[in-house]
Structure 1
Amino acid sequence: MPAPGSPRPFDRHGYQPVGRQLTFDELDTPLHDTTFVVVDLETTGGSAANDAITEIGAVKIRGGEVIGELATLVDPGRSIPQMIVEITGITSAMVIGAPPIERVLPAFLEFAAGAVLVAHNAQFDIGFLRAAATRCDTAWPAFKVLCTVKLARRVLTRDEAPSVKLSALASLFAASTQPTHRALDDARATVDVLHALLERIGNQGVHSYTELVDYLPAISAGQRAKRSLATGLPRKPGVYLFRGPSDEALYIGTAVNLQRRVRNYFTGSETRGRMKEMVALAQRVDHVECAHALEASVRELRLLVAHTPPYNRRSKFPKRAWWVALTDEAFPRFTLTRKPTADALGPFSSRTDAADVAATIGDFCGIRSCTARIPASRLHGENCPPAVVGGCPASSNATLASAQEYSIAPALAVALFRGADDEPLRRMRRRIEELSDAEHYEGAARLRDRAAAVVGAVRRLQRLTALAAITELIAARPAVDGGWEFAVIRSGRLAAAGNAARGVAPMPVVEAIIATAETVLPDPSPLRGSMAEEVGLIARWLDGPGVRIVRTTEGYCEPALGAGSWIGWSELARDAVRAESAGATYLRLA
């Protein structure tokens, strides 16, 4: 008798009895609740592309019991080679009058719907079925597939099973049905082999279908031993941190189900070399439980910045972003900086991208590109080549500009950034049309791409600043399992998050979340001190289906003359074909 509280043993078919409370692991598709359809085929040859199915046999099982069988000959529409006849005993005469695959396949798909397909050498059988579905113009369902050859190689040693042929395994396990190279007999034999293999792994912690799939690839004993690090983690959304020997953060990630996600690092489903190296160093896993996916993503981002873990590759250095700003002088020009001013454009992950966008805007706003400091008492253009000969965009052959006259150019650039004036974008479009009319298609295409980059950068800034400008915004989003997800956003930063379950009055929950929300002190930068990635995460969450604004201190909107109205034009520009005729057509349509 097992000790009180210990798990009950598997039966001879590798299934635990149904009449008991399930553990958390077993709630993840327990094996005794998993329906398997064991299938075997006979064919005219070994090529799924060139040969055809002659017989299908399938056995449906659940909890170790057979609940259905399907068997039929299939007319392959051709003669069966003599070699195949000798192996299977199926002759061309036997399949005359049998239904074609066009009639058999729908019946098989209905029989197997919702089940895990099992086959001995599944690549062969499933390959033929998929090829048949393609020829019949039938959609192939997203079946989960289990191969008993792979499972046998994982479970059995080569001393015990030098061969994993179906006949050898059926003999090893004393199967009640011996394979005969006929589809139903071979499927029945495979059922017995499957049961015997499951019985072998029942005491190795494999209680669910997900764990069975994870068990298949070979992994090191050390990797599997560290699976205990996932014990005790909640099955809820959150952030996990792998800690190293000196308690340093090795890797940080998010999960909808913390326990399941972390457990996967200790199974064969984790194939990344870097992650295997990280797991080998890990000593423990910390976690932060979160209300929903948005909170988990934001907390992950903040933790990445705080810890800069060596095995993460993204989002560790948000302050290294580049901004395009105007210098503080009588004749301002664009400069690239890490610290944005109130009127800066950004952020850019690449300095080159920032410089290209700044050059394009400078060309069409008339921002000088010369670097000499000019006193307010001087005029611009005295010693500066005009733009028409590749010189400064603020110079011309005819006129010199005072500081007051020049100030129109930087003011126009700032108006573009803020969405108060889109004249620079109109100038770009007019210039593209002029180049196209003159049949300078390559020049038009280059300017089209530059203009699209400007639209993307300006629109990104305006989208993020629209959110960061709101002192407090409370939003609700429908939860997947009913109820609501709430977010309190202050100056573009997630200040608090929470949930109201289905049937719970939401407003008292909202008030409780607000009462515990973080205090945010904004600064004068475009995003008011918030990280661009965090504001972007929140903006995407707010764009999700069913989101409602519960309360807000200011309106949530983008400027009427902002780059948002140019997105359609920009997408056309990015997708336009570069050929001359296509380019001309596009430019006319724009």
Structure 2
Amino acid sequence: MNLSLTRNFVMLDLETTGLDVAKDRIIEIALIKVSPNGEQSEFYRRINPTIPITKESAEITGITDDLVANEPTFTQLADDIAAFIGDSDLGGYNSNKFDIPVLAEEFLRINHSFKISNRRFVDVQNIFHKMEQRTLAAAYQFYCNESMENAHNALYDTKVTLDVFRAQLERYPNLAKNIPELSDFSRQGNQEWHDFAGRLAKTKSGQVTYNFGKHKGKTVEEISETEPGYFGWMMDADFPLFTKQLLREEMGRIKQKRKGKREAENPEMNMEDKLAALQNKFKK
């Protein structure tokens, strides 16, 4: 391996009960240690997480609660894992966002002396994304084996994009051939965005939620009750007009829903409101 090491380097991968860094636990750990002289050693164990494995995780990993029921817990393995890693630097694929934080959480959870600091972290996924360009020119070269000669001319870029799209449809037999499915597939991540900016999302039941900041994942209706000023802040802040339009429509729906509920609970008040409205109309 064309790599200059001054101390041990450990590549790691974890399988976990789920994807929540703060709450989920390790069910399988693999460590490969490379020493400065090029020698390699491995550590691999399945782990009893002491909490249920989610259905999604079991389907992806093939590891079920039954398979790890008799395996040691992380508490029981922590000393061995820490000793194997030692003062090594760490690396993995998407490890800076997931594997390393999860490992740190496990050690912190049991107040182990293992320290995650004073190490270097190498995320292979980030290297991949930075080294392999994601520009239109790179896509044109990859899919069509052609070089762009007039980049940033709108018409030319559009023609190139269409060529790339056609090449993708030919290259991937399993890729959907209709717009609805292609739209779903090409959405960034798996998030059901409600607006183009990704500031609002939509639940399966159709409720609009905030998709950023301190209220991410909470419905607009819920926050309108607990922090009514949040809507006004978004309306005054520098968000896209389309986002504001959709948020305004959602607030209108919420107000109508609440009005209907009040009228159903108090029909007499409803009649009074109607009479007051008629009186105001005749006064004018």
Relative to the length of structure 1, the TM-score reads: 0.22
